[in-house]
Amino acid sequence: MLIFTRKGDCIFHLDLTEKLDFSDTQKITGRRKLVFGLLLSLKSYVKMLSAEEFKCYSTSCYKLHFYELLTGIKFVLISTPKIAGDLTHLLKNIYIYQYIPFLSKNIAYELGTPIKCKHFRDNIEEELRQYSN
């Protein structure tokens, strides 16, 4: 799962597969930029073709779920393609029940900066693990 600002800065990145090496910052930064660029391209493409909003797309290897706020904050979840439907509702719930209470209403957190709140990370991880079983 990734959370991006309007400008494309990744403020949260959680990998439940444990396949990513977060010590290789150059590779992680490149991956984040690729995901953000893909989002912009897909949003633009979907907007050009229809009046529908871009929420989800699937390949044989993965499924990308997307939820964007009016503020430009983007929630992205990359899952297995076996997941039925899109998980936009899950990303919306994460925003409402995790992001708002732990970050938006937290006077110690400056919006748009990297999210380092342990409770937020733990709650997100717990919620996402329910879908990985």
- Asked if the model's pLDDT at residue 132 lies above 70, the reply is no
pLDDT at res. 17: 82
What tens digit of pLDDT does each residue of 37-86 get? 999 999 888 888 887 888 998 999 999 999 999 999 999 999 888 888 88
Q: Which of 2, 1, 9 is nearest to 111 (CA)?
A: 9
DSSP H or E run through 131: helix 118-132
- Which residues have C-beta within 8 Å of that of residue 41, sequence separation ≥ 6? none
Distance from C-alpha of 109 to C-alpha of 85, rounded to nearest angstrom: 33
- What is the fold, at CATH topology level, of the domain defined by 2-132? Beta-Lactamase (3.30.450)
Q: Where are the domains of the chain?
A: 2-132
What tens digit of pLDDT does each residue of 13-48 get? 998 887 777 778 898 899 999 999 999 999 888 888
